[in-house]
Amino acid sequence: MYIVQIAPECAPVAKVGGLADVIFGLSRELEIRGNEVHIILPKYDCMRYDQIWGLQVSMRDLWVPWYNSAIHCTVWFGFVQGRKCFFIEPHSPENFFNRGHFYGFQDDVSRFAFFSKAALEFMLKDNRRPDIIHCHDWQTGLVPVLLFEQYAHAGMGGSRACYTIHNFKHQGLTGEYALWATGLTNIAHYFNYDRLRDNFNHTAVNLMKGGVVYSNFVTTVSPTHSHEARFTDQSSGLGPVLNTHQGKFGGVLNGIDYDIWNPEIDPHIPERYGIETLDSKYVNKEALRDRLWLKKDYKPIIAYVGRLDSQKGVNLISHAIFYALRNNAQFVLLGSSPDPHINQHFWNLKRHLNDSPDCHLELGFDEELSHLIYAGSDMIIMPSLFEPCGLTQMIALKYGTVPIVREVGGLKDTVFDKDYSHKPWEERNGYVFQGADNAGVESAMHRAIALWYTYPDDFRQLVTHGMSCDYSWCRPGQDYLNIYEHIRCK
Ligand SMILES: Nc1ncnc2c1ncn2[C@@H]1O[C@H](COP(=O)(O)OP(=O)(O)O[C@H]2O[C@H](CO)[C@@H](O)[C@H](O)[C@H]2O)[C@@H](O)[C@H]1O
C-alpha cells in the first residue's frame, strides 16, 4: 500500500511533543511491513537539520492556490533516520515557517491551512496517488475536506483519508477566511453545522470538525480516550460530532519505537541495561545526579518529563515536587511551555529551589537529556487532567522507571496499580490514582516511596514487570493497517 502521512511534526527533526514520535514510529512500522510510506512536513527554519540526510530539491516550482492568487513553493526531499520526508517551503512575504518556533503565532491557522493545501497540491502535481492519506490534529484537519471537495475531482479520487486526533484541546477555530484562502468559496455549503461550522461558537469555522466529518476513518490515540471523547467533556465540545460519526471512529493505542526508546541500545545514556542487567541502571542514576548537580544519597529519584501545559496538571506537578522533597525523595523535571504564565511559574519555582541538593528543574527542550532522565530515575509522575494516550509512561516502563499516573485516557490503558489493579501481579507495573487533587497525588507517591524504601525487592519486581510490557508499534501498526484496508478504495 502507498501511504502518505501529512503532519506538522516528526521526530527527531521537528518535535514539540508526542505527535512527533507517533509520526516517526508509525511510519517506520508501516514500512517494515512492506508499505511505501512518505511523510509531508513544513520546512521550518528551526528544524534539526543535522537529523536530515541527503536534503535535496524534489520540486523546484510548485504554485499553491491561495486566495485569488498562488504562492510559489519549493519542495525538498530528505531522509530522517531512514524515513522518506518531503518538506514544503513557501516563498511568500508571510514567511509561514521561518519564525524560529513551530507554533504560537497569531496566524497559526493560516500557516497550517496553507500547509494542508500545499501538501495536496504537491501530490497532485507530482502525480502521487496514495491509497491512504493519514493526517493528524487540527493543523491538517482541512486535508480530508480539500481531498474530497477539490482534489478527488482533479484526479485523486482513489485516495482515502484517515484522521487521527492526538489532542482535542486545540481544534483550529477560525474565521471564514480560511475557507476563502483554500478555495472553499461556496461558504454557505461549508459553513454549515453538518460540515465545518463549530457547534458552540456560531461564528467560527472548526478545522478539526472538518477533519472528522470528511475523513473515511477517524481515530484517537487510546481506547479509553475514544470513550471519554464521546461521553465526557474531554473532547472540548466535539462529542456530538463524534457521536454522529461513531461508525467510523475508534481508539488505537499508540506505540513507542523500541529502536529509539530502549535502554539496551540507547546511545544517549552512559551505561546500557536490560532486565538481566538491571544493576547497570544505577550507573545512569549516578550520571544523572552528576549532570544535574544532585546530591549522592540513598534516595529515589522521581521525574517529570513533558510539555508544561495545563493538560498535564501543572499545579499537581508542583505539588509533587514539594511532596517528594518532604518525603526523602529527589526530584528532576524537564519541561517547557509556550504559555508565559506557566513558564514564569516554573522559573519562580526553579529560583526558589535553586539551593536544594535534591531537586533540579531543567526548563527547555532537550531530547538527549530526556533519555538520561528516563534511564536514571526510579519513578516518573504524570498527574494529567486529561491524557489522550501519553508516551512518557510507556517510555518510562521500558527504562524500568515506575510510572505514577492519574487514571485517565491512555494512562488507564497502560499502567496497572501495584495494590489495586485487578490484573495478576506480573502485569502490575506502577501506581494509579483517581482524584485530580493533591490528596490523589500524595496517596500514590506515598505508596511508591514507601515500597522503594521498605520492600526494595518488591520494587525491583515492579520495575521488571514494566520492562516486560510490549508497547511497541507492532500491534497498533497492524490496527492501522486494518483500518487502511477497511477504507481503501478497492
Ligand atoms: N522538554 C522536553 N524535552 C525533551 N523531550 C520532551 C520534552 N517535553 C516533552 N518531551 C517528549 O515529548 C514526548 C511527550 O509525549 P506525550 O505523548 O507524553 O505527550 P504530548 O502531550 O506531547 O502528546 C500528545 O500526543 C501524544 C501522541 O498521540 C499523546 O500520547 C498524548 O496523550 C497527547 O497529549 C515524549 O517523547 C517526551 O519525552
> Is the pLDDT at 106 greater than 90, yes or no?
yes
Residue 489: per-residue pLDDT:
76
Q: Is 15 annotated as a binding residue?
A: yes
CATH class for the domain made up of 275-468: alpha beta
Sign of CA dihedral 147, 151, 153, 157: negative
Provide the edge-to-edge strand list for the sheet that holds 160-165: 52-66, 69-80, 83-91, 36-42, 2-6, 132-136, 160-165, 217-220, 249-251
Pick among 3.40.190.10, 3.40.50.2000, 3.40.50.300, 3.20.20.240: CATH of 2-255+474-487: 3.40.50.2000
Cα 381 from Cα 443, distance rounded (Å): 13
Q: What's the average model confidence in pLDDT over 166-173?
A: 97
Cα 65 from Cα 60, distance rounded (Å): 16
For the chain, domain boundaries: 2-255+474-487, 275-468
Q: Is 243 strand, coil or helix?
A: helix
CA of 20, closest atom in ligand 1: 27
Choose which residue among 103, 135, 369, 389 to substitute to test ligand 1 binding: the one with the highest number of ligand atoms within 8 A of its C-beta: 389
Residue 144: per-residue pLDDT:
98
The fraction of the chain above a pLDDT of 90, given in percent, is: 99
pLDDT digits (tens, 9 = 90+) for 324-335: 999 999 999 999
- In the reported structure, the alpha carbon of residue 306 is separated from the centroid of ligand 1 by a whole-number distance in angstroms of 6
Is it true that 2-255+474-487 and 275-468 share their CATH fold? yes
Query: Model confidence at 490, in pLDDT bands (50, 70, 90)?
Result: low
Residue 284: per-residue pLDDT:
98
Map grid coordinates 479509553 to a residue: 224
Residue 451: per-residue pLDDT:
98
How high is the ipTM of this complex? 0.98
Non-local (6+) Cβ contacts of 477 within 8 A are: 26, 29, 30, 32, 33, 255
> Is the pLDDT at 193 greater than 90, yes or no?
yes
Query: Model confidence at 338, in pLDDT bands (50, 70, 90)?
Result: confident
Residue 48: per-residue pLDDT:
97
- CB-based contact 387:393 (threshold 8 Å): no
The fraction of the chain above a pLDDT of 70, given in percent, is: 100
pLDDT digits (tens, 9 = 90+) for 364-391: 999 999 999 999 999 999 999 999 999 9
- In the reported structure, the alpha carbon of residue 245 is separated from the centroid of ligand 1 by a whole-number distance in angstroms of 28
Q: Average per-residue pLDDT in the chain?
A: 97
Residue 39: per-residue pLDDT:
98
74 CB-contact burial (10 Å; exposed 0-12 / middle 13-18 / buried 19+): middle
- CB-based contact 40:62 (threshold 8 Å): no
Map grid coordinates 511523510 to a residue: 39
Choose which residue among 391, 406, 408 to substitute to test ligand 1 binding: the one with the highest number of ligand atoms within 8 A of its C-beta: 391
pLDDT digits (tens, 9 = 90+) for 210-245: 999 999 999 999 999 999 999 999 999 999 999 999
